[in-house]
Structure 1
Amino acid sequence: MNKSIFSVVFLLLGLLGFSQTYEFQTIKDIEANPVISQDHTGTCWSFSTTSFLESEIIRTTGKHIDLSEMYNVRNTYPKKAWVYVMRQGKAQFGEGGLAHDVINSARDFGVVPQSVYKGKLDAEGKYNYDEMEATLENMLKSYVANPEKELSPKWREAVNAVLDTYMGENPTEFTYEGKKYTPKMFFESTKINPKDYVTISSFTHEPFYKPFLLDIPDNFSNGLFYNLPLDEFIQNIDNALDNGYTLALDCDVSEDTFAKKSGMAVIPENEADKRAILTEIKPEKVITPEYRQEKFESYATTDDHLMHIVGKVKDQKGNFYYKVKNSWGTNSGKDGYVYMSVPYMRLKAISVLVHKDGLSKKTKTTLGL
């Protein structure tokens, strides 16, 4: 009788051990500005990387500056248009971009505070550039429709006129905290050096420890990525966070287990756990470099979305998760944040942008940085 009771108790304890509701403990939390929303735009690349730059300013100067996301967008669109037209329509034109596009924009055009350039909002007080996007795309298609006809040099002026109409003209000079700046002067005041930032990734179709051109649709500007073995890629994300550096993340969010509501991003070992794992601790899949590459080459992993990694948490079983700041507003996820498991990061992270000093000494030396 007693033996039977003990058996039942142990069975119940075992079941409870496999169905524990998540309890999280903060391991690392690096300061970042509050979560905001990109609204009805595909400009996550600017929201995430602008947030990243804001954290870099906090790290290096202690100042909290709310930078304009739409200023970066406004100044990146003409570059996209140039690529599309010069490649005679054989390129993607859309709202998407990558983290290095914000770094390039800051380098070429500076940055401005949000109070100086907000961009234009729709009647509901939200960002929505669908009409502008359609107008620009139709214009550009008409320019390249007849390659035998000489292209008017005024097409670039026309593109800028549309951008000014829908987003607002670029500021040339402004006053911030009692001092006058141009956008480039303001960028210089932040002490950020664009040359200090690198993008790292991990794919087996390119040599390791060399920069390569990653062939993804949003890489219109032909940005280079440093290729690392998968374990070293993850180790460098951890090294950066452990030493106070945040990272801008490009990743796939198309999985059912990237949950907008619960704010969890996980890869269950068993398909049957896809729903339960969003609220309960379940075993996760072991992600090998080969499996990661297979999912990338089959289009199961694509560069859907960019976010901002700002810390790490741990559940009661000792599993680590990355604290990722999203740009879908505070009503999504965990007050606007996503807790992303290590397996999810290993499988679905396309790349991260980080200050080169956030890399491990070994990686930094090997890459010649």
Structure 2
Amino acid sequence: MIKYTKLSVVGLALSLSVMTTYAQDNLVNSLKNNQSENSKDAFKFTDVINLANTPVKNQGSSGTCWSYSTNSFLESEMIKAGKEPVNLSQLFTARNAYVEKGKNYVRMHGAVTLGDGGALHDVINMYRKYGAVPQEVYTGLNYGTKINKTAELGDLEKGVLDAVVKNSNGELTPNWIKAYTGIIDAYLGEVPENFTYKGKKYTAKTFANEVVGINPDNYVELSSFNDHPFYTKFTLLVPDNWSFDQVYNVQVNELTDIIDHALKAGYTVAWATDVSEKSFSYKNGVAYVPETPFAEMTAKQKTEMFDGPKPEMEITQENRQLAFDNYQTTDDHGMHIVGVAKDQNGKEYYIVKNSWGVTNDYKGYLYVTKNFVKYKTTAILLNKAGIPGAISKKLGL
């Protein structure tokens, strides 16, 4: 039986931009045993909502946060549906996305993002097309490593695909996809045609249908930008949206209204965001939007950023859009919102699960203010049953 718990102390996680895919990897490696000196003394958190979720995982040296976070979300969806959750293989999802991304790269003559990075919807799309398998069946560790380490694989993927795009033969051969997929499988392992789980034989598709049991049509992705009409769908223009999926557009305050409503109804939320801000601290386990911008802070203010709750900047549709337009907000990292907590002053924070192991004060979780979520979210993904009725009606769901 797979153990899952409602964790008592949780929060949010950190990463650097996938625009430089392996910057995230370097930061993950630097955060081992990275506890602060006084975070738990400066901030006193009390749970308000803490939804059941599976144990924190470690994505290792890979840019696969999107797969870890959204598979964690699917595991919580199993719990919500009354099922025993399965630790799903994140690298099975990633492997299939790499295959599809390679096809897209060739189709676009190399003029599209490659690399490890991805989006929340990639997990749903791969689940729909390929199914799912347990972590124990497909670890993605095929050459002696204990954690993911995918830099060399990424370099080889790009080299092969660039050779295909160069097209020295004058036309594409039918074998390039076999060569490309063979490299992926050499590093991550071949996907078994069938496997046994708890005494029963499955394929990835039958396992998804019979054991995981989620309907991919039940999930929607949303964001908030004022250069598109609200309550319509638009293509989210971030580098890792390699599949050019569309998301629903809502107003900035509705992002947190939706998350709040979902959590109260027992639904967790997958979250894509920018975490490059100085006010986002994995070590301290806290993220917020300071009232005074970091560049304008005194030296004393900078040293005191995490010595307790601080006033925050007001978030509007306009300053959110400006931060995205001028690259202050980038699509950095995927995480999993699992609850709400209050600090000693009664202010609410979201409880967010990361995928870097249990290396900080809060054992792999952090606490993030609602203003930070409003300001720095690039997208959220959730069960459409968790969306408030009035907003759902506006979206035509």
The one-letter code of the counterpart of 1:323 is I
State yes or no: 1:360 paired with 2:360.
Answer: no
Paired-residue identity, %: 42
The equivalent of 1:135 in structure 2 is 156
State yes or no: 1:282 paired with 2:310.
Answer: yes
State yes or no: 1:308 paired with 2:322.
Answer: no
Equivalenced residue count is: 350
Match of 2:323 among 295, 305, 314: 295
State yes or no: 1:268 paired with 2:296.
Answer: no
Higher mean C-alpha displacement, 60-69 vs 309-318: 60-69
Q: How far is 1:145 from its partner?
A: 2.1
Partner Cα separation in structure 1 for residue 361 and residue 336 of structure 2: 14
State yes or no: 1:216 paired with 2:244.
Answer: no
Q: How far is 1:122 from its partner?
A: 5.6
The one-letter code of the counterpart of 2:159 is N
Match of 1:63 among 56, 72, 84: 84
Q: How far is 1:124 from its partner?
A: 4.9
- Contact (CA 8 Å) 1:256, 1:274: kept in 2 or not? no
The one-letter code of the counterpart of 1:69 is Q
Q: How far is 1:22 from its partner?
A: 1.4
Pairing 1:54-93 to 2, within 5 Å after superposition: 54-93=75-114
- The verdict on how the C-alpha distance between 1:28 and 1:75 changes in structure 2, with shifts beyond 3 A counting, is same
The one-letter code of the counterpart of 2:390 is K
Q: How far is 1:339 from its partner?
A: 0.5
The one-letter code of the counterpart of 2:71 is T
Q: Deviations over 1:59-118 (max 9, x none)?
A: 102312111111101111111001110110111111000111010111111001111111
Q: Deviations over 1:175-227 (max 9, x none)?
A: 11111111111111222000000001100010000011011000001111100
SS at match of 1:278: coil
Partner Cα separation in structure 1 for residue 167 and residue 92 of structure 2: 33
The one-letter code of the counterpart of 1:228 is V
Q: How far is 1:164 from its partner?
A: 1.1
Partner Cα separation in structure 2 for residue 124 and residue 78 of structure 1: 22
SS at match of 1:82: helix
Partner Cα separation in structure 2 for residue 275 and residue 91 of structure 1: 41
- Contact (CA 8 Å) 2:58, 2:356: kept in 1 or not? yes
- Contact (CA 8 Å) 1:71, 1:112: kept in 2 or not? yes
Q: Deviations over 1:94-152 (max 9, x none)?
A: 10001110101111110011111111156451210111110010111111124882111
C-alpha RMSD of the superposition: 1.4
Q: How far is 1:53 from its partner?
A: 0.4
Match of 1:48 among 69, 82, 85: 69
SS at match of 1:339: strand
Partner Cα separation in structure 2 for residue 53 and residue 233 of structure 1: 20
Partner Cα separation in structure 2 for residue 248 and residue 234 of structure 1: 13
- The verdict on how the C-alpha distance between 1:147 and 1:367 changes in structure 2, with shifts beyond 3 A counting, is farther
SS at match of 2:283: coil
Q: How far is 1:276 from its partner?
A: 2.0
State yes or no: 1:241 paired with 2:263.
Answer: yes
- The verdict on how the C-alpha distance between 1:151 and 1:265 changes in structure 2, with shifts beyond 3 A counting, is same
- Contact (CA 8 Å) 2:42, 2:306: kept in 1 or not? no
For CA contacts below 8 A with separation 6 or more, give which structure has more relative contact order. 2
State yes or no: 1:194 paired with 2:220.
Answer: no
SS at match of 2:48: strand
- TM-score, normalised to structure 2, is 0.86
The equivalent of 1:229 in structure 2 is 251
Match of 1:326 among 343, 349, 354: 354
Q: Deviations over 1:267-309 (max 9, x none)?
A: 1102434442323111111111100000000000000000000
Higher mean C-alpha displacement, 276-285 vs 205-214: 276-285
Match of 2:118 among 80, 97, 102: 97
Match of 1:253 among 269, 275, 295: 275
- Contact (CA 8 Å) 1:266, 1:278: kept in 2 or not? no
The one-letter code of the counterpart of 1:213 is T
Pairing 1:19-38 to 2, within 5 Å after superposition: 21-38=42-59
The equivalent of 2:18 in structure 1 is none
Q: How far is 1:230 from its partner?
A: 0.7
- Contact (CA 8 Å) 1:310, 1:324: kept in 2 or not? yes
Partner Cα separation in structure 2 for residue 277 and residue 243 of structure 1: 34
Partner Cα separation in structure 2 for residue 358 and residue 339 of structure 1: 21
Partner Cα separation in structure 1 for residue 306 and residue 206 of structure 2: 46
Q: Is the radius of gyration larger for structure 1 or structure 2?
A: 1
SS at match of 2:337: strand
Q: How far is 1:338 from its partner?
A: 1.4
Partner Cα separation in structure 2 for residue 246 and residue 80 of structure 1: 28
- TM-score, normalised to structure 1, is 0.92
SS at match of 2:42: coil
The equivalent of 1:5 in structure 2 is none
SS at match of 2:310: coil
SS at match of 1:301: coil
State yes or no: 1:119 paired with 2:147.
Answer: no
Partner Cα separation in structure 2 for residue 62 and residue 292 of structure 1: 38
Partner Cα separation in structure 2 for residue 210 and residue 219 of structure 1: 18
Partner Cα separation in structure 2 for residue 300 and residue 287 of structure 1: 14
Q: How far is 1:367 from its partner?
A: 1.0
